[in-house]
């Protein structure tokens, strides 16, 4: 389904969750705005608050590194990447990141949408990964 209506989210204009060590995840596009086709977040991830190794069963994940450096772990591969790097991670492939330094900023999209609400829950409660088709390694 193509985008039917413009979705414009100003800088710091989306619902934002701040984690205990200072990471912040801002909702940029909710899947309800895209007919379910995709969702997107801007994630300022601090060292020590990276996700554990995990696998998605329902979504592909698209990641663009805006700022900072990180080590991307995809399957058995580990690659250091920096600003301008891009990854298209198909569902079913275990992956995670490790921040090099203090912080990295990522633009993350999910296709189809929905997983953005795992990162920025509507009700503010901590979500259950299994409810979103996420398996932790």
Query: Residue 57: inside a domain, yes or no?
Result: yes
Domain count for the chain, please give it: 1
Band of residue 93 on the pLDDT scale cut at 50, 70, 90: very high
What are 16-69's pLDDT values in tens digits? 999 999 999 999 999 999 999 999 999 999 999 999 999 999 999 999 999 999
> Phi and psi of 81, rounded to 5°?
-135, 160
CATH number at residue 96: 2.60.120.10
Query: Residue 5: inside a domain, yes or no?
Result: no
What are 78-89's pLDDT values in tens digits? 999 999 999 999
Query: Residue 126: inside a domain, yes or no?
Result: no
Query: Residue 65: inside a domain, yes or no?
Result: yes
pTM of the model: 0.93
Query: Residue 11: inside a domain, yes or no?
Result: no
Query: Residue 31: inside a domain, yes or no?
Result: yes
The residues, any chain, with a CB within 8 Å of residue 88's CB and separated by 6 or more, are 60, 61, 62
């Amino acid at each position: 389904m193509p985008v039917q209506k413009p979705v414009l989210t100003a800088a710091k204009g989306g619902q934002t969750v701040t984690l205990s060590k200072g990471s912040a995840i801002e909702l940029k596009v909710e899947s309800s705005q895209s007919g379910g086709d995709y969702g997107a977040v801007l994630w300022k991830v601090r060292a020590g608050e990276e996700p554990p190794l995990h696998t998605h069963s329902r979504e592909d994940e698209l990641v663009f590194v805006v700022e900072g450096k990180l080590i991307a772990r995809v399957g058995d591969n580990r690659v250091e990447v920096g600003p301008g790097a891009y990854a298209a991670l198909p569902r079913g492939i275990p992956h995670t990141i490790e921040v090099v330094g203090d912080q990295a900023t990522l633009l993350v999209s999910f296709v189809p949408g929905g997983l953005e609400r795992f990162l920025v829950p509507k009700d503010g409660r901590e979500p259950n990964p299994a409810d979103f088709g996420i398996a932790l390694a």
